[in-house]
A and B are shown apart, each in its own frame.
Chain A
Amino acid sequence: MKCSRCGAVAQVALPSHHSGFCPDCFRVFFSRQVERAIHQHRMFSQQEPVLVALSGGKDSLSLLRELVLQGYNVTGLHIDLGIPESSPAARAKVEAFCAALGARLAVLDMASEGVPIPAVKACVTRPICSVCGKIKRYYFNKFAMDNGFAAICTGHNLDDEVGRLFANTLRWDVGYLSDQGPSLPGRDGFVAKCRPLYRLSEYETAAYAFLSGIDIHVAPCPYSKGASFTRRKELMNRLEGESPGAKLQFYESFLKNARPHFEAAEDRGGVALAPCERCGYPTSAVVCNVCRIREKLG
């Protein structure tokens, strides 16, 4: 297979785009998809300060690299969860990556915030991943708001987005369907959220990470139950295999034709939020979840 742009030997075959690319041209393709996502959804300008949430995985590191190379005003934010089996390695990797790239990095330590994940796990009855996810989102948002960032970017890719959309659609979950999308504007107490990799599949981000020398291996979190989304993703991939481009089309059509209706419905009957009595960040309770956990761990 020859590169669709320059005719050299292709290394990446993309049936969804009826193309194949050599490493250099693939990186150009990747950059353009990111640019297109940012412009089409008016995510942020070159000057506005934005945060990139860095877990240490290939998606978030690829995103940071791309935004830095494109000249955006980005800062990485890593949350050290305080899990002895995985956090030190993830943190060291993020720190080394940012240093090599010359990118600014902030690290928030959950142990210093009074919510190290192993202790949280011991005191909650709900599945730890849902609580851990809440804590991470809370601190990402709080850090962005407290420090005047215009948006927080995450490394969600097309497969993450389509998998979630598919799940939300199977349940016709109006609340989630009303605000799923690559760009969620900021509102009272919430910073804007952006997903500049939403046009790129998991395969494309993996290929980008490989070709850019981003080493992807980190010790997995010991609480990770493995691939929970995988079945749904397999189903979507089978659809994609039979009709290349189906995933992006399903997602883009949702944004264009369906989401506005769910937004309107949610406006009529959504949950009201008010500032948390302790920390001031929005919650549907009097004291927010994170403050309650922090008090419990006291």
Chain B
Amino acid sequence: MPQPSPVTVVLEREGRTLVYPRLTTAHQLLNRLELGVNDCLVIRDGELLTPDRKIRPGDAITVRTVVSRG
């Protein structure tokens, strides 16, 4: 059986890329990263995702932490 494509998540601030075999929603991603709803922007294709949005196999997502330095 062909494997579904994984989800790539770029953590912008940390400069790291994570690969998840499967993610269901943005909320699940936030939980995995131990981040709250308003701790970061979850970006996909130039759009922001609210926690309830579904994540599809093969999605490329960027997580931009918003807590500023200083």
Contact = CB atoms under 8 A, between A and B. Distances in A.
Interface of A: 1, 10-16, 20, 23, 57, 59, 159, 201-203, 206-207, 210-211, 216, 220, 224, 226-230, 233-234, 237-238, 240-241
A11 B48 CA distance: 5
Given A1-B51, A1-B53, A59-B68, 5 more contacts: A1-B50, A10-B50, A13-B37, A224-B69, A237-B36
A220 B51 CA distance: 30
Contact of A202 (B48, B53, B66): B66
Interface of B is mostly: loop
B39 A203 contact: yes
A288 B37 CA distance: 45
B66 A57 contact: no
A238 B34 CA distance: 12
Contacts of A238: 36
B7 interface: no
Interface of B: 36-41, 43, 47-53, 64, 66-70
A211 B47 CA distance: 8
A207 B64 CA distance: 10
Given A228-B70, A229-B70, A203 B38 contact: yes
A160 to B, nearest CB: 8
A62 to B, nearest CB: 12
Contact of B69 (A20, A227, A240): A227
B38 to A, nearest CB: 4
A206 B37 contact: no
B36 A13 contact: no
A233 to B, nearest CB: 5
A237 B53 CA distance: 22
A43 to B, nearest CB: 23
